C-alpha cells in the first residue's frame, strides 16, 4: 500500500506546484513534460526490477513489477490526455496530422500504442491464458522504453541532458539484464548423467513397483 501511494506522489507534487504558481510561464507544456518524465521513470523502474532481484538476490521485488508497469501506463495516459485536451482541445484532425508529420510525435504515439496491450494483459487471468506467449508479448516494454527515449530526444531542441540520462540508464539496464542472465546460467546446477547400471536398477525398481500395484 505504501508503494502504491508513493507512485501517486507525482500528482500531489504537480497539484502543489499548480496551487503555488510553479507551472512556469507555459503551464501546458510543463504538465505534458511532467507526465512524460514520470512515464519514463516508471518504465525504467519496471525494467530495473528483474535485474535488481537477480543481482541483489531479492526475489520479493518481483511483486512490485506489475504495479510499476501499470503506473507507467497510467502516467503515459495522463501525458497523452494532456496533449489531447490541453494542447489541442480535441482537434483530432490536427492531432492526426501531427502524428503523421512530426517524427517525435510519431515515435511517442507508437510507444503509447505498444503499452496498451501490455496494460490489458497484466492480469493473472491473461497470464494464465497466454502462457509462454505472455512473456514474449511483455518484452515489448523494452521497445517502448527505447521509443520513449527517442521521443524525448527528438522533442527537445537544445538541452538533451534528460533524454541522455534516460538513455544511459536504459543502456545500463540492458547490460544488467545480460549480466544477470549469464550469472543465473552459471548458478544452475548441471545434472551429471547417472551410470548405466544405476539407471537400470532404478528402472527395475520402478517396474517392480508398478507390477505390485
120-161 pLDDT, tens digit each: 999 889 989 999 899 889 999 999 999 999 999 999 988 899
C-alpha cell at 85: 485536451
52-75 tens-digit pLDDT: 888 888 888 888 999 999 999 999
Q: What is the DSSP string of 24-58?
A: -S-HHHHHHHHHHHHHHHHHHHHHHHHHHHHHTT-
Q: Closest Cα to residue 173, out of 145, 131, 201?
A: 145
How high is the pLDDT of residue 189?
61
Closest CA to 34 of 48, 46, 16: 16
Sign of CA dihedral 186, 127, 60, 141: positive
Q: What's the CA gap between 195 and 209, in Å, rounded?
A: 21
Amino acid at each position: 500500500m505504501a508503494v502504491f501511494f508513493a507512485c501517486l506522489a507525482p500528482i500531489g507534487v504537480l497539484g502543489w506546484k499548480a496551487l503555488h504558481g510553479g507551472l512556469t510561464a507555459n503551464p501546458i507544456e510543463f504538465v505534458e513534460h511532467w507526465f512524460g518524465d514520470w512515464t519514463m521513470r516508471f518504465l525504467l523502474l519496471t525494467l530495473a526490477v528483474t535485474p535488481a532481484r537477480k543481482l541483489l538476490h531479492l526475489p520479493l521485488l518481483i511483486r512490485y513489477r506489475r504495479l510499476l508497469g501499470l503506473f507507467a501506463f497510467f502516467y503515459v495516459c495522463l501525458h497523452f490526455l494532456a496533449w489531447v485536451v490541453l494542447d489541442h482541445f480535441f482537434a483530432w484532425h490536427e492531432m492526426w496530422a501531427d502524428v503523421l508529420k512530426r517524427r517525435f510525435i510519431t515515435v511517442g504515439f507508437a510507444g503509447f500504442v505498444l503499452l496498451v496491450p501490455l496494460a490489458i494483459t497484466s492480469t493473472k487471468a491473461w497470464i494464465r491464458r497466454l502462457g509462454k506467449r505472455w512473456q514474449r508479448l511483455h518484452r515489448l516494454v523494452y521497445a517502448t522504453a527505447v521509443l520513449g527515449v527517442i521521443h524525448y530526444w527528438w522533442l527537445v531542441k537544445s538541452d538533451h541532458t534528460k533524454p541522455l540520462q534516460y538513455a544511459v540508464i536504459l543502456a545500463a539496464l540492458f547490460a544488467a539484464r545480460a549480466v544477470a542472465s549469464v550469472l543465473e546460467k552459471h548458478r544452475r546446477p548441471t545434472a551429471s548423467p547417472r551410470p548405466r547400471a544405476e539407471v537400470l536398477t532404478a528402472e527395475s525398481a520402478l517396474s517392480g513397483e508398478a507390477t505390485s500395484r
